[in-house]
Structure 1
Amino acid sequence: MSNAAAPTGWGVWTWPNLVTAIRLAGIPLFCYLLMATEYYWQAAAVLAIGGGTDWVDGQLARRLNQVSRLGRLLDPLVDRLYILTALLALTFMGLLPWLFTIAVLARETVLVSLVVLLRWYGYAPPQVHFLGKCATTVVFMSFPVLVVAGLGDDATTWAAPLGWALAWWGLGLYWLAAFVYLRQAGGLLRSGRARARAAA
């Protein structure tokens, strides 16, 4: 339902929250497979499935009418944890350069600061933009491919160029989406100041 009412309860025991919990369990499993074993293809599969199914819990919540406050908190949190965990794990394993990692973390810092600023002035966070969703998807798609490229010798020839193409293209879209969010927030703050001056 596109116009679902805002959830009134935490709704812990729901099917969408179960899916989110299973996705959350995939994060430590991915780290274990990547850093403590040589099951690199399996690590890439866990990462791809856990991060690539971020739409499933949201679709279930809407279709089963099980939208909950807990789900709205957990779903984006798990998405961010997948990105940050994969980013730091791949950097630690030498599969991503620190320059790339710093660029992604700087973008996340900018957006967190933006949300805090908007909350300070009484505004909700900006609506998720289609460009932002695409950027996150492309950046995340690069991570399992880079795992295969860096640690799976038999797939390096095709995985490395594909992984880096996705990574740098996604990073560019990531920052472009950040500028869109900054522009949206700037418009909100300017309109708020204009209304305040008019009321005075």
Structure 2
Amino acid sequence: MISALRLLMVPVVAVLILSEQYLAAVVVLALAGISDWVDGVIARALDQTSRLGRLLDPAADRLFIAVVIIGLAVQQVVPWWLLVAVFARDLVVGLCVPFLVARGFPGFPVHDIGKAGTFALMYAFPVLLLTQVDQLTGHLAADIAWAFGWASALWGVYLYWCAGLAYLNQFRAIVVSDARASTHQRGPRSTPGP
């Protein structure tokens, strides 16, 4: 339920960023983050996790990251290469998923390093949004927030790619295992005679 509400907040954040209502966008992002945390705590305490929740929760995180980074790039707060760095990883990993699903795997298991990368990005972008609030612009607090936001964004992209490489390594292992199983089912290849 909360994951679905978080998904509904995604277009609201997009509109707020594009209309330069940065403080309101940060408030909505903070509410989404807090609701996600509370939802997780309650679900674990009551042992009430669902398959739909496990799908919607990461989807909401990815959509928030996408909307915020696209909005920041459109508003020229961050350069486009940052957007490419984040989306290229998702594209590369995403291209592997149909192969996994066709072989009976539900997708990649979530790594802690991927969670850490997503978390770093999820707080880096709202901090960068805060630096655009008129009341903060030109103050020391904005400069500190800008440095902290960029450090978090770069750390998040690094961790995001580390998780992506771990996923690709898992994918390689599955492909190799699949190839070996396929070879064993067909039997050994006959070697050509003299």
* SS class of match (2:91): helix
Which runs of 5 or more residues in structure 1 are unaligned?
1-16
Counterpart residue number, 1:158: 144
1:26 aligns with 2:9: yes
Counterpart residue number, 1:177: 163
Q: 2:59 aligns with which of 72, 77, 85?
A: 77
Counterpart residue number, 1:116: 98
Q: CA deviation at 1:174?
A: 1.0
Counterpart residue number, 2:23: 41
TM, length-normalised to structure 1: 0.81
Letter in 2 for 1:30: V
In 1, Cα distance between equivalents of 2:110 and 2:23: 32
Q: CA deviation at 1:119?
A: 1.5
Identical columns (%): 38
Counterpart residue number, 2:76: 94
Structure 1 residues 28, 123: CA separation in 2 closer, same or farther (over 3 Å shift)? Answer: closer
* SS class of match (1:70): helix
RMSD: 2.0
Structure 1 residues 187, 96: CA separation in 2 closer, same or farther (over 3 Å shift)? Answer: same
In 1, Cα distance between equivalents of 2:28 and 2:8: 10
Kindly provide the CA deviation profile for residues 59-100 of structure 1, in whole angstroms up to 9, marking residues without a partner as x. 433433443343233222212111111111111111111011
Which runs of 5 or more residues in structure 2 are unaligned?
187-194
Q: Which runs of 4+ in 1 moved over 4 A?
A: none
